[in-house]
Amino acid sequence: MARLPIQNMKVGEKHVTPSRMVTKTDIETFCSVTGMIHPVFLSDQYVKSDEESQKIGLKGSVVPGQLSYAIMLGNLLRDETLDDVIVQLGANNIRWTAPIYPYDMLRTEIEITGNRVTKEGRAIVDYNWQVKNQNDVVVVEGNNTCMFKKK
């Protein structure tokens, strides 16, 4: 299937990426690189023995929210949706709506909410996005604005 560059998509058009599994290795690497070393991300035992984690219904260690955002962008880059990006101009209204666990399958769904052309011919694209897991549950959502190469 030929890809439709995001800068050629019209307001209201939607796109769904293939799913990607988030692994324990992904989480450990992310936590190590960022310094986000916290047992809620790295230890099922901690979560299962932590009273507060149990009160909010966590079943085990969870994926850091910032990693889920990176996976969202990675999904869009991996399927070439963002190939022509020059710069991300904004990320807004990000909400984590459900826990993400190791080995969840995550896909990204976007809807174009704005698409305009600068005087120089570059495209400024606004899009809402959601990350859904294998059970079709929205786990994180927000909206982004990016600048893309000329149409």
Number of helices and strands in the chain (H, E) = 5, 6
* Residues 107-139 pLDDT 10s: 999 999 999 999 999 999 999 999 999 999 999
What is the predicted pLDDT for the residue at 52?
Answer: 96
CA distances from 36 to 94, 130, 131 (A): 19, 24, 22
Residue 151 or 28, more confident: 28
pTM: 0.92
Q: Where are the alpha helices (DSSP H) in the chain?
A: 24-34, 39-42, 44-49, 51-55, 65-78
Token digits of residue 115: 């698409």
Round the average pLDDT of the chain to a whole number and report it: 95
CA separation for the pair 64, 38 (Å, rounded): 10
Which residue segments constitute the domains of the chain, with CATH numbers given?
A: 12-148 (3.10.129.10)
How confident is the model over 81-92, as a mean pLDDT? 95
What is the predicted pLDDT for the residue at 5?
Answer: 84
